[in-house]
Chain A
Amino acid sequence: MQLSINGKTVEVDAAPDMPVLWMLRDLLNLTGTKYGCGMALCGACTVHLDGQPVRSCVVPVSAAQGKAIKTIESLGANGRLHALQQAWIDEQVPQCGYCQSGMLMAAAALLEHKPRPSDADIDAAMTNLCRCGSYQRVRSAIHRAALELRGGSA
């Protein structure tokens, strides 16, 4: 089947019920998207489907047909980091880093919809699990990136 992944049309030989996560990781070697639980509980597998954050471990490829799949590998554009990625570096968010692809994709979707998120917005949108406890810095980095994307005006 044909899928749109990171702006490119890709021919994938996958069963319709194969989760997007495993298609990305094991068929296309796009390993930035992680497996954590397989039950949409942890968010390590978060990607965008037509701009919406989804947990790709429970989304079959059949449901992604005709939609744009975007993964961590294309969060930055033209060799430049996304404002969130830069904020993640500035705030030194990652520790082990395993959850961070999913965190970043969830945060990117949040900022698309809410350029000026409140703490409550962040609480509601960022339900990804981080075993290293990077949450406090995730919150700070989202605020920092939001400010940057708004052109630095508070």
Chain B
Amino acid sequence: MKRRTWILSALGATGALVVGWGVMPARSRMGDPATMLPTRGDVALNGWIKIAADGSVILAMPRSEMGQGVHTGLATLVAEELDVPFSLIQLEQAGYESLYGNISMLVASLPFHPLESEGGNKPAKVRIGEWMVGKVARELGINATGGSSSLADAWDTVRMAAAAARSALLGAAAALWHVPVAELRIVDGQVRHASGRSTHFGTLAAAAVHSPAPVVLKERKDWTRIGTSPLRRDVPAKVDGSAQFGIDVRVPGMLFAAVRMCPMLGGSVAALDSQAALAMPGVRKVVPLEAVAGSTAGFAVVAQTSWHARNAALAVPVQWQQRAAGALDSDRIQEALLARLKTDPGFVFYEKGDAAVAEAGAASVLRATYSAPYLAHATLEPMNCTAQFRDGKLTVWAPTQVPGFARDVAARVAGIDAEQVTLHVTYLGGGFGRRLEVDSVAQAVQVAMACDGQPVQLLWSREEDTTHDFYRPLHVAQLSAALDAQGQASSLRIHSAGDAITPRWMARGMPALAGPVDTPDKTTAEGLFDLPYGFTHQHMAHVATRSEVPVGFWRSVGHSHNAFFSEGFVDELAHAAKTDPLEFRRALLKDAPRYLAVLNLAAEKAGWGKPLPAGHAHGVALHESFGSIVAEVAEVSLEEGKPRVHKVVCAVDCGTVINPGVVAQQMESSVVFGLSAALFGRIDIRNGEVQQTNFHNYPLLTLAQTPAVETWLLPSERPPAGVGEPGVPPVAPAVANALFVLTGKRLRALPLQV
């Protein structure tokens, strides 16, 4: 398929919405005041900002707080443009209007090479592509917290909304006091006049609605909050046990449900006997669960407490049935992917020069095969959802990254209109992409429908959570490079295969848009086709497969394994050229100065090339994802034959930094997340069953195993880019590259086995 054909076919999935967009009026994302319902006498100034009677500011919050600090981040933009203290900003869960959709996340799914826009001037095809997808995204209005995109998406919109509110409030004060606006200023949420007059926003809000005024954003030099690290607003409730996660929802009369799904992915229940369970203490019901939104079928037991429910669920004798198409098996899938690479050239995401010709004429060709396993998300809060169906209306409490999808699936399952569903988004006990899925919401609603109006909290055990995830897909890649007589590489060819994620996810979340076939998926090829290195000849192709294992977005998605492939192989090329891996990369970054600066900063701060304690070695990796460039230098040794990571120095260019404290937090988080995967992470599927079940056989990094993590930021005036995920991809290759120095053995499979 030609590239252009593909872009059009990808857009074709949303065809009905695309038709006629050219004649539609441009739709502002600031929104109409009517989008925010008044409560307690507050006044909406636009779709994002309301003013309460006491002068406090209420921000519509469409994004989910899962630890990444987004509630603080969006509030910071409002605090800046309205000059209002954080204590006067309240958050209100946003509604479902499309203005709250995440446009940046969808635009980032376009497969353009980042270097094409590096200079600041985007080529026409990039501009057109972004405009088209932006239009579609604006219409679709998918409210998702993912793709490290929240601040990038809110950057203009929320600041504009707050600046518009500021203008309107100042205009109202000017009219009230009969003074020029120029003589007014806002200090700590109070409008002040030189005469000494002063009032809070609450007294001006009603008049401000009718006081449209030009919207002027603050200049960078006038910022007092952006670029600082205010204390996160969610932290106090997270140190005294009062923060409400999904699992903490308590509704009077609530019952608890435990789930058992067919252990064989995609399988079903052939027969079950609920008699014994129903006779157990505290047990109320056994409810069959259909496979909805990508889940595997099973059943739920409803009881007085989660403990009663779980015990009874385990006591149900059940005969499971393998899926009709046969048992899934991860080893067989890996073999099939490797075989597929022999016959399928894949979709070419990037082409430069002629890599095949370069290899044909080379003194030698270096070839390597890399692989990465399935991985579970392992959010510490297992999947759960609380639901109550009463009088034709459904109330749902869900820790979700996709409130719109959650509401829609709830309505579909209940057979009611989405308007009859009230959804409360709680704090998320970790997301990492797992909560972009709504399988447990669909289950909770199925159970609630059977419970005669009583509220039910459905909770998965850790075992169900580990064995019924939407896994990071297994991937394989063959990489090759043409070397001259001195071992210098002139080409880089990457040919990879693995399951597409986005088409399956769209089909689960928006079934009406499901296409008959999968299109090539940028999210699984990202991190292979978009490298910054100046190899003369490049050919990057990906084979999108469909193995039927449920796969999903796992923190940093395709980048998470592709950076391991590409940065491992680039390290191999450095050693083939008998060049220091840092110098080798530097030489290839002449046309990518921003990447070079990030790499240099990490190397400098880590003391690259300086003596290390005996038995220690440095490894480096550089990777761009979600608009941000991260370089990491890992200091590694072997302890009792096992890798021990002592320190990881991160350098980051994530554009304008809104909160440096949160960026550092996310780098620390990413290093730990990445190390759990690099050192231990693997999900194996045998006879359809996931073999790992709990933290004893799917271990996470512990405090004692955690390296010191340092974060260094590059100053930038570019718009803000992602920070939640970009720290993950460089971790595994940096460690693997250090291990090569220590052992002389090149590790090309994850997890790293020395």
Contact = CB atoms under 8 A, between A and B. Distances in A.
Interface stretch (B55-63, B558-566, B630-638, B698-706): B698-706
B87 to A, nearest CB: 15
Q: Which one of A25, A123, A128, A132 has the greatest number of beta carbons of chain B within 10 Å? A: A132
Interface string B644-661: 000000000000000001
Contacts of A98: 245, 379-381, 429-430
Interface in B467-491: none
Interface string B555-599: 000000000000000000000000000000000000000000000
B366 interface: no
B380 A127 contact: no
A137 interface: yes
B306 A35 contact: yes
Interface string A106-141: 000000000000000011101111111111111100
A66 interface: no
Contacts of B380: 34, 36, 42, 44, 96, 98-99, 129-131
Interface residues of B, number: 62
B67 interface: yes
Contacts of B708: 136
Interface string B183-226: 00000000000000000000000000000000000000000000
Contacts of B240: 32, 72-73, 75-76, 81, 85
B231 A92 contact: yes
Q: Which one of B238, B432, B661 has the greatest number of beta carbons of chain A within 10 Å? A: B238
Contacts of B669: 95, 132-134
Contact of B429 (A76, A96, A126): A96
Contacts of A134: 665, 668-669
Given A35-B459, A72-B240, A95-B68, A41 B694 contact: yes
A138 B703 contact: yes
A38 B694 CA distance: 9
B518 interface: no
Contacts of A32: 240-242
A18 B307 contact: yes
B325 interface: no
Contacts of A71: 241
Given A100-B239, A135-B702, 19 more contacts: A26-B307, A31-B248, A34-B429, A73-B241, A85-B239, A88-B235, A96-B67, A96-B381, A97-B429, A98-B429, A99-B380, A129-B702, A130-B700, A131-B700, A132-B67, A133-B669, A133-B670, A134-B665, A136-B709
11 contacts: A18-B307, A25-B306, A26-B256, A35-B459, A36-B381, A94-B238, A94-B239, A95-B665, A96-B428, A131-B700, A133-B706
Interface of A: 15, 18-19, 22, 25-27, 29-39, 41-42, 44, 71-73, 75-76, 81, 85, 88-89, 92-101, 104, 122-124, 126-139
Interface of B: 66-69, 229, 231-232, 234-245, 247-248, 250, 256, 281, 304-307, 310, 378-382, 427-432, 459, 461-462, 661, 665, 668-673, 694-696, 700-704, 706, 708-709
